[in-house]
């Protein structure tokens, strides 16, 4: 960690660029306490400075509050409908979705869903704003109408209400749409750049200028990217022609993720060529017209990619010598300060000044959530608001320093009066003139603050103004608003006259230093997400400092010189049977991962003998002792992370992220079941029986368990079944899938290393006939856990039942015909992203993968082309490359079945799209992601376990019929739902007979202990793996 | 060969969703009304199963995890259950009552068999919707065991009978039909255990991305919380 204070030394930015670059990435998830201790001295004022800053802030706030017109309409709206109220959230929900709903039925149902659960009356006449009050009365009236109970008595008032209910739905819909248009009008400066320029004249007369942005969702398809590019070009042309005021010319802000459908680190090559060309074109045009360009900030994962692209563009001849090509830096990022230092050095080296907009950051909660989901042990952002404010001031101190401002033109974006006053004071203290920096604010927010600032100071204030159709922009803007948490924001409190000014001018350094800890103790690090166990760790492959060293470790197992040799392991001994098989890599059959000996009948018999003999001793261990073995197994798996990932690549053809998720799941299974065993198996439970007598019962192991696992989760499911059986006290014989026995052998070795006795756990690789059949027909087998096809589960069940002994538990997880239901309130971009991921990730070889997408007919013509476009962007290729989205399928047999299905579907369905295969596809077993439109789920017989998606249009009124049809299939594993209507979601959740239902997200990637996984009906027996009832099924409950 | 599916399974399937949707407490309310019709020991058994269900499966469990998503685990019935006994005496009838009440409180429609089943059905029928509990004659037992869509069989039997039944159920196509056997007909050591109910349910996880439209209320609250 570098000494932050050193950035204030003028020669700091004279260091080699590469040296400064190296400071950025390691701070990605730096320890918050340590790093903030470095930053605090940069933000901490002297007593004199503190007094000046505080007085200045008090003066500014006092002036603003005196002003009757201090509140803009948006300010007023957010004050009344604070986002910490139900009404505020519901209003935003309506604004986000209503305008895009094309059909009346769904729109009416959505309005009813949103308006009927809130207390609109409490807001009536609270606000001084006409706009807010008008909205409130509208919502109140509408809410009353839609919530009427038709069964109430027939009083005149109710009678009238009922009549209104019958006739008024079109009126309500129209009124609500009108209200949303008004809201859109407030948030968006213009529906096109012409309107924006026209509407902006009033503010420009006051001395403001603008940065326009054609905001919206990120592009998912090349068509979307082209559309955005054209829109930016038009905007540049219009602004270039604008002659209204030459003092501070408007600029254009560009969102890179709108200009390329795969603006991701994994697609760096495309970004640095295709996207580079697009942006260079914009720069050339903008430069010719003297319109400055600012690159907007994106999520933390893309920061390093953005900087790389920026550098390439900045160094390009099209930009050289211009000085109006800038970018946005987010102060909530722990990497902000070294990024600024690197930019200053880049500018100094090149000789052109870089405009830099310093913002606090717009994706805070999604950054935190993402890290928690991915198990990234740290956060890229600060966990306290005041820490971000401290970082902002530390960055400002650097930006306003004499040696920096010669190279960077700082643009301070904030709506916080204290921040603005402090920056103004800081500028004066550091000798920066008003020509050497500017302020920025959002359209519709902070008017009064900046009106006063402009009046009092000759300084440029730029308004960041969204431009575009209200329908397209509202979802995006609402998300940003909600994510910024206006309830705790300064804007809210500034205009709330009851809030004491003295509380608004606390310096963030003072506030932060008064905390017991600099990091927020209420936001656990991802590793500590669970109270009772450690969360598994996952490296972030998008971040250089995380991925580069991790990849180097994996690479050491990726060469052909590294070959694994696997055998049956019985009693801890590797048994050479002579029945040796080569293990080919699914992506290239000329490459091998190793060799494997299959078990024979003698080995099976010996393993059962030993396991049977070992049962008394192993089951006599305490649950805690057995659980300790599982915890050690988990740690060993993390210690051997790289090798396990390499095996996932080479033996199973898994992509990088899939392989990481695989190891994480296995680790989570170990720790979760260990914790469950300690909670439920350590001591007897006391209960009162039905006759009122006190009893004690103890859960105990049953004997020898057989665990038969599939190739699609060769480590996670394999390990999950085994450790569950073991921790309960059973001994285990494991039969892995014949395709993925190398990784299975490594897992068994690690389990033995962790202390699981070698006679309690045995590995028998081989096929069903050689190993599966003798293993399931032996009378000593006391239970079986199986994951695989429904047909095989039935066969095994028959074999077990035929043994002539007491029935034993059969825990089977089997197939599915998984559907996703999408209604017209959903956001198409989210739907397509989640559907494509659910259907094609892992080459569709997940039990949970999406097979049938039901799209409401009213939006199908929008959604289906987007699916086509997104599929064209899918990269099928070598699984160990970061650029690969879809790897191979497991083997030739699987490939043949899938290709035959594709051929069949070509004759009965309509091809939507098929992703391209790589040139080398013939070397392995690849199947191109393919989507068909079909008319009915009845056209499908059984599950096709691969990257094939079927799309069906349905009418809104037929939703229940669709659910019935899905239920009738008998399968019940996963289902996805995309809808903004909570009533619809609840209705589907109540009616669908599925084990795992996912709402407004993808439907794959269940997390152990968080989303217990397993189906019903033809999809499995239960209980759910990774759930609180799983272990009990491996045990017997005995009275003591 | 065309297999004629017993009408009772179809009726049970038709009523399943409504019965299951009532939830444990809703079903308990109805089933409790029937308790007074049973003998003292049967009543205790039935009541115990209801209370055990309330304790162990009634609540939807909110699972821990990342902020910005809500993960809930709940239980549902599996579908039509056949409850039967190969023996007849007071203890066995108590066990059969235990099976029936466990299957019902878990959310499943139940089909009983013969006179013993008829007696139980008659006591429960007035308080539940039509089809929630049905009875068949002994002679229809075989065809019901063979029926498609039978989710499970709960039975009091000996070891040999359990093996035979297990083989018959395993031989069927379709879903793996659960066999929940009680072979200790003196002590009812399986039926009257806290975890017995879990065999009658299937679990459902609902994962809701609560930040789909933006805004993570939980996190924002944590972010602005005082120490």
Cα–Cα distance measured from residue A855 to residue A864, given in angstroms and rounded to the nearest whole number = 9
CB contact under 8 A, B68 and A697: no
Q: What is the pLDDT of residue A155?
A: 44
User: Tokens 């017109």 sit at which residue?
Assistant: A69
Query: Closest partner residue to A479 among B17, B213, B222, by Cβ?
Result: B213
Q: Which of A659, A786, A766 is nearest to A721 (CA)?
A: A786
Domains in chain A and their CATH numbers? Answer: 4-56+195-487 (3.20.20.220), 73-185 (no CATH), 561-681+700-814 (3.40.605.10), 819-1017 (3.40.309.10)
Query: Closest partner residue to A980 among B195, B208, B213, by Cβ?
Result: B213
Cα–Cα distance measured from residue A280 to residue A318, given in angstroms and rounded to the nearest whole number = 7
Preferred mutation among B23, B74, B212, B222 to probe A, highest tally of A CBs within 10 A: B212
DSSP H helices, A810-891, are 828-840, 857-872
Cα–Cα distance measured from residue A970 to residue A967, given in angstroms and rounded to the nearest whole number = 6
User: Tokens 């949970």 sit at which residue?
Assistant: A848
Question: Is the pLDDT reported for residue A396 higher than 80?
Answer: yes
Shortest Cα–Cα distance, A982 to chain B (Å): 11
CB contact under 8 A, B208 and A1000: yes
* Per-residue pLDDT tens over the stretch A563-586: 999 999 999 999 999 999 999 999
Residues 428-487 of A with CB under 8 A from B: 475, 478-483, 485, 487
Report the share of chain A in percent with pLDDT over 70.
91
Q: Which residues of A touch B41 (CB under 8 A)?
A: 691
Cα–Cα distance measured from residue A398 to residue B12, given in angstroms and rounded to the nearest whole number = 74
Cα–Cα distance measured from residue A500 to residue A590, given in angstroms and rounded to the nearest whole number = 74
Residue B133 near residue B117 (C-beta atoms within 8 A)? no
Residue A32 near residue A382 (C-beta atoms within 8 A)? yes
* Per-residue pLDDT tens over the stretch A341-364: 999 999 999 999 999 999 999 888
CB contact under 8 A, B224 and A991: no
Asked if A1011 reaches chain B (Cβ–Cβ under 8 Å), the answer is yes
* Per-residue pLDDT tens over the stretch B39-89: 999 999 999 999 999 999 999 999 999 999 999 999 999 999 999 999 999
Which CA distances in Å does B3 have to A1011, B148, B151, B175? Answer: 39, 10, 18, 17
Q: Is residue B39 assigned to a domain? A: yes
Cα–Cα distance measured from residue A803 to residue A810, given in angstroms and rounded to the nearest whole number = 14
The mean pLDDT value of chain A amounts to: 91
Cα–Cα distance measured from residue A54 to residue A424, given in angstroms and rounded to the nearest whole number = 11
At A783, list the tokens. 């239970």
* Per-residue pLDDT tens over the stretch A17-43: 999 999 999 999 999 999 999 999 999
Mean pLDDT calculated for residue range A405-432? 94
List residues bridging with A439 in a β-sheet: A412, A461
Q: Where does the pLDDT of residue B3 fall: very low under 50, low under 70, confident under 90, or very high at 90 and above? A: low
Cα–Cα distance measured from residue A612 to residue A732, given in angstroms and rounded to the nearest whole number = 9
Q: Where does the pLDDT of residue A156 fall: very low under 50, low under 70, confident under 90, or very high at 90 and above? A: very low
Question: Is the pLDDT reported for residue A428 higher than 80?
Answer: yes
Q: Which residues of B touch A478 (CB under 8 A)?
A: 213-214
List residues bridging with A579 in a β-sheet: none
Shortest Cα–Cα distance, B114 to chain A (Å): 25
**Cβ count within 10 A of residue A650:** 29
Shortest Cα–Cα distance, B28 to chain A (Å): 16
**Cβ count within 10 A of residue A195:** 13
Cα–Cα distance measured from residue A212 to residue A209, given in angstroms and rounded to the nearest whole number = 10
At A499, list the tokens. 């809030």
Looking at the 3D structure of chain B, how many domains does it have?
Answer: 1
Q: Where does the pLDDT of residue A81 fall: very low under 50, low under 70, confident under 90, or very high at 90 and above? A: low
Question: Is the pLDDT reported for residue A148 higher than 70?
Answer: no
Side-chain-side CA neighbours of residue A390 (13 Å): 28
Q: Where are the beta strands (DSSP E) in A852-929?
A: 852-856, 910-914
Which CA distances in Å does B27 have to A510, A722, B57, B98, B154? Answer: 58, 37, 12, 15, 19
Give the residue, A112 or A971, on which the prediction is more confident. A971
Query: Closest partner residue to B63 among A810, A1000, A1009, by Cβ?
Result: A1009
**Which DSSP state fits A297?**
P
Cα–Cα distance measured from residue A195 to residue A177, given in angstroms and rounded to the nearest whole number = 21
CB contact under 8 A, A520 and B225: yes
The mean pLDDT value of chain B amounts to: 94
SS3 A251: strand
Global pTM exceeds 0.90: yes
Helix (H) or strand (E) holding B121: helix B114-124
Q: DSSP of A208-228, one letter per residue?
A: EEEEEE---SPP-SHHHHHHH
Query: Closest partner residue to B195 among A517, A1013, A1032, by Cβ?
Result: A1032
CB contact under 8 A, B49 and A690: yes
Owning domain of residue B51: 7-58+71-223
* Per-residue pLDDT tens over the stretch B111-150: 999 999 999 999 999 999 999 999 999 999 999 999 989 9
Q: Which of A241-250, A375-384, A914-923 has the lowest mean pLDDT?
A: A241-250
Q: Is residue B19 assigned to a domain? A: yes
Q: Is residue B64 assigned to a domain? A: no
**Whether residue A87 lies in the annotated active site:** no
Q: What is the pLDDT of residue A456?
A: 83
Question: Is the pLDDT reported for residue A104 higher than 80?
Answer: yes
Cα–Cα distance measured from residue A489 to residue A503, given in angstroms and rounded to the nearest whole number = 13
Q: Which residues of A touch B174 (CB under 8 A)?
A: 970, 1018
List residues bridging with B62 in a β-sheet: B72
Q: Is A699 exposed, middle or buried (0-12, 13-18, 19+ CB in 10 A)?
A: buried
**CA-based angle B28:B30:B36, to the nearest 5?**
95
Nearest CA in chain A to B79: A1017
Question: Is the pLDDT reported for residue A838 higher than 80?
Answer: yes
Which CA distances in Å does B227 have to A372, A516, B133, B222? Answer: 21, 7, 56, 10
**CA-based angle A425:A426:A427, to the nearest 5?**
90
Cα–Cα distance measured from residue A815 to residue B135, given in angstroms and rounded to the nearest whole number = 33
Mean pLDDT calculated for residue range A526-542? 97
Residue B107 near residue B19 (C-beta atoms within 8 A)? yes
Question: Is the pLDDT reported for residue A145 higher than 60?
Answer: no
Question: Is the pLDDT reported for residue A925 higher than 90?
Answer: yes
Asked if A1040 reaches chain B (Cβ–Cβ under 8 Å), the answer is no
Nearest CA in chain A to B220: A485
Q: Which residues of B touch A989 (CB under 8 A)?
A: 206
Residues 57-116 of B with CB under 8 A from A: 61, 63-69, 71, 73, 76, 78-79, 98
> Which distant-in-sequence residues (6+ apart) come within 8 Å of A275 by Cβ?
A256, A259, A260, A263, A309
Question: Is the pLDDT reported for residue A527 higher than 80?
Answer: yes
* Per-residue pLDDT tens over the stretch A303-320: 999 999 999 999 999 999
Cα–Cα distance measured from residue A21 to residue A344, given in angstroms and rounded to the nearest whole number = 12
Shortest Cα–Cα distance, A603 to chain B (Å): 28
Q: Where does the pLDDT of residue A160 fall: very low under 50, low under 70, confident under 90, or very high at 90 and above? A: very low
For residue B204, the domain's CATH number is 3.40.605.10
Give the residue, A693 or A147, on which the prediction is more confident. A693
Query: Closest partner residue to A999 among B166, B170, B208, by Cβ?
Result: B208
Residue A294 near residue A328 (C-beta atoms within 8 A)? yes
Cα–Cα distance measured from residue A607 to residue A733, given in angstroms and rounded to the nearest whole number = 7
Q: What is the pLDDT of residue A751?
A: 98
**Whether residue A847 lies in the annotated active site:** yes
Q: What is the pLDDT of residue B217?
A: 72
**Which DSSP state fits A802?**
T
CB contact under 8 A, B223 and A990: no
Q: Where does the pLDDT of residue B221 fall: very low under 50, low under 70, confident under 90, or very high at 90 and above? A: confident
* Per-residue pLDDT tens over the stretch A633-681: 999 999 999 999 999 999 999 999 999 999 999 999 999 999 999 999 9
CB burial readout A61-88, b (16+ within 10 A) else e: bebbbeeeebbbbbbbbbbbbbbbbebb
**Cβ count within 10 A of residue A458:** 9
CB contact under 8 A, A801 and B214: no
């Amino acid at each position: 960690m570098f000494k932050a204070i050193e950035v204030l030394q003028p020669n700091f930015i004279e260091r080699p660029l590469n040296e400064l670059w190296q400071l950025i990435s390691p701070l990605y998830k730096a320890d918050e306490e340590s790093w903030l201790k470095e930053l605090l001295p940069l933000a901490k004022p002297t007593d004199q400075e503190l007094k000046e800053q505080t007085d200045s802030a008090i003066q500014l706030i006092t002036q603003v509050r005196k002003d009757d017109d201090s509140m803009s309409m948006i300010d007023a709206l957010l004050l009344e409908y604070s986002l910490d109220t139900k009404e505020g959230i519901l209003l935003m929900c309506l604004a986000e979705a209503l305008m895009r709903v094309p059909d009346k039925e769904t729109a009416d149902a959505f309005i009813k869903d949103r308006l009927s659960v809130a207390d609109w009356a409490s807001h009536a006449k609270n606000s001084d704003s006409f706009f807010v009050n008008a909205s409130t009365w509208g919502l109140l009236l509408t809410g009353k109408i839609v919530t009427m109970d038709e069964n109430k008595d027939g009083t005149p008032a109710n009678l009238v209400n009922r009549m209104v209910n019958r006739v008024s739905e079109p009126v309500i819909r129209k009124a609500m749409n009108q209200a949303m248009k008004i809201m859109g009008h407030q948030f968006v400066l213009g529906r096109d750049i012409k309107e924006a320029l026209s509407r902006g004249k009033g503010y420009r007369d006051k001395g403001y200028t603008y940065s326009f942005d054609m905001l919206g969702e990120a592009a998912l398809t090349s068509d979307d990217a082209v559309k955005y590019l054209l829109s930016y070009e038009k905007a540049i042309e219009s602004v270039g022609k604008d002659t209204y005021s030459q003092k501070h010319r408007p600029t254009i802000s560009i969102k890179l993720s709108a200009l390329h459908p795969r603006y991701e680190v994994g697609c760096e090559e495309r970004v640095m060529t295709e996207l580079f060309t697009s942006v260079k074109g914009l720069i050339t045009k903008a430069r010719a017209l003297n319109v400055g360009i600012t690159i907007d900030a994106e999520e933390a994962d893309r920061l390093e990619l953005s900087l790389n692209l920026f550098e390439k563009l900045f160094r390009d001849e099209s930009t050289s010598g211009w000085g109006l090509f800038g970018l946005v830096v987010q102060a909530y990022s722990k990497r902000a300060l070294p990024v600024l230092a690197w930019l200053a050095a880049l500018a100094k080296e090149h000789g052109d000044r870089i405009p830099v907009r310093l913002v606090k950051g717009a994706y805070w909660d999604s950054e935190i959530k993402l890290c928690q989901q991915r198990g990234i042990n740290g956060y890229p952002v600060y966990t306290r608001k005041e820490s971000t404010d401290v970082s902002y001031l530390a960055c400002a101190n650097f930006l306003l320093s004499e040696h920096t401002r010669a190279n960077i033109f700082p643009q301070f974006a904030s709506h916080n009066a204290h921040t603005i006053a402090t920056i103004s004071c800081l500028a004066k203290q550091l000798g920066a003139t008003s020509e050497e920096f500017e302020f920025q604010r959002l359209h519709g927010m902070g008017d009064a603050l900046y009106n006063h600032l402009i009046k009092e100071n000759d300084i440029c204030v730029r308004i960041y103004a969204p431009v575009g159709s209200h329908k397209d922009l509202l979802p995006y803007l609402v998300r940003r608003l909600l994510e910024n948490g206006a309830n705790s924001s300064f804007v809210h409190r500034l205009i709330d006259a009851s809030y004491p000014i003295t509380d608004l001018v606390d310096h963030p350094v003072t506030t932060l230093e008064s905390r017991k800890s600099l990091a927020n103790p209420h936001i656990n690090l991802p590793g500590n997400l669970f109270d009772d166990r450690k969360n598994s760790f996952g490296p972030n492959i998008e971040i250089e400092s995380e991925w580069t060293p991790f990849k180097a470790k994996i690479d050491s197992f990726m060469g052909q010189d590294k070959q694994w040799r696997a055998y049956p392991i019985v009693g801890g001994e590797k048994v050479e049977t002579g029945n040796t098989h080569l293990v080919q890599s699914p992506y290239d059959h000329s490459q091998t991962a190793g060799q494997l000996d299959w078990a024979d009948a003698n080995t099976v018999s010996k393993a059962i003998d030993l396991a049977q003999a070992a049962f008394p001793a192993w089951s006599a261990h305490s649950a805690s002792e057995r659980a300790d073995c599982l915890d050690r197994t988990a740690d060993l798996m993390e210690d051997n992370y790289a090798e396990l990932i390499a095996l996932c690549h080479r033996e199973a053809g898994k992509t990088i992220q899939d392989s990481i998720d695989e190891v994480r799941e296995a680790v989570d299974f170990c720790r979760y079941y260990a914790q469950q065993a300690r909670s439920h198996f350590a001591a007897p439970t006391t209960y009162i029986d039905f006759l009122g007598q006190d009893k004690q019962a103890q859960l105990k192991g049953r004997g020898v368990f057989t665990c038969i696992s599939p190739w699609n989760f060769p480590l996670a499911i394999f390990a999950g079944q085994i450790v569950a059986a073991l921790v309960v006290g059973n001994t285990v014989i494991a039969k892995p899938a014949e395709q993925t026995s190398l990784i299975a052998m490594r897992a068994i070795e690690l389990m033995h290393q962790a202390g699981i006795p070698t006679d309690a756990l045995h590995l028998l690789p081989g096929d069903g006939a050689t190993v599966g059949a003798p293993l399931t027909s032996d009378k000593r087998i006391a239970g079986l856990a199986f994951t695989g096809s429904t047909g095989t589960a039935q066969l095994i069940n028959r074999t077990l039942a035929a043994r002539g002994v007491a029935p034993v538990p059969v825990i089977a997880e089997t197939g599915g015909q998984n559907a996703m239901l999408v209604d017209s309130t959903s956001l198409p971009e989210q739907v397509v992203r989640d559907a494509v991921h659910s259907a094609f990730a892992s080459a569709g070889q997940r039990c949970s993968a999406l097979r049938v997408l039901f799209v409401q007919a009213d939006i199908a013509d929008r959604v289906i082309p987007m699916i086509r476009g997104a599929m064209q962007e899918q990269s099928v290729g070598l699984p160990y490359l970061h650029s690969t989205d879809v790897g191979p399928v497991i083997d030739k047999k699987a490939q043949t079945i899938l290709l035959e299905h594709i051929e069949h579907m070509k004759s009965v369905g309509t091809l939507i799209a098929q992703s391209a295969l790589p040139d080398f596809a013939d070397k392995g077993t690849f199947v191109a992601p393919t989507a068909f439109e079909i008319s009915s789920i009845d056209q499908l017989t059984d599950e096709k376990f691969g990257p094939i998606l079927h799309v069906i249009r349905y009418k809104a009124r037929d939703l229940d019929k669709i659910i019935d049809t899905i239920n009738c299939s008998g399968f019940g594993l996963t289902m996805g739902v995309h809808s903004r209507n909570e009533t619809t979601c609840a209705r589907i959740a109540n009616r669908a007979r599925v084990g795992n239902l996912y709402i407004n997200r993808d439907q794959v990637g269940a997390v152990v202990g968080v989303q217990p996984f397993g189906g019903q009906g033809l999809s499995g027996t239960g209980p759910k793996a990774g759930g609180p009832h799983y272990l009990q099924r491996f045990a017997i409950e005995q009275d003591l | 060969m065309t297999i004629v599916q017993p009408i009772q399974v179809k009726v049970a399937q038709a009523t399943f969703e409504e019965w299951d949707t009532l939830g444990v407490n809703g079903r308990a309310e109805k089933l409790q009304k029937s308790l007074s019709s049973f003998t003292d020991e049967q009543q205790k058994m039935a009541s115990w199963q209801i209370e055990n269900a309330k304790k162990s499966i009634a609540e939807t469990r909110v699972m821990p995890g990342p902020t910005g998503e809500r993960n809930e685990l709940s239980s549902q019935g599996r579908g039509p259950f056949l409850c039967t006994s190969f023996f007849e005496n007071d203890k066995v009838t108590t066990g059969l009552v235990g099976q029936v009440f466990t299957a019902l409180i878990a959310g499943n429609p139940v089909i009983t068999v013969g006179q013993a089943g008829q007696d139980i059905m008659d006591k429960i029928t007035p308080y539940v919707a039509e089809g929630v509990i049905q009875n068949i004659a002994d002679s229809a037992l075989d065809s019901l065991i063979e029926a498609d869509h039978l989710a499970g069989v709960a039975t009091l039997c000996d070891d040999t009978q359990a093996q035979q039944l297990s083989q018959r159920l395993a031989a069927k196509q379709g879903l793996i039909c659960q066999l929940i056997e009680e072979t200790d007909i003196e002590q009812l050591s399986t039926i009257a255990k806290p975890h017995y109910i879990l065999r009658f349910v299937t679990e459902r996880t609902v994962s809701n991305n609560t930040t789909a439209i933006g805004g993570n209320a939980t996190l924002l609250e944590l972010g602005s919380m005082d120490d």
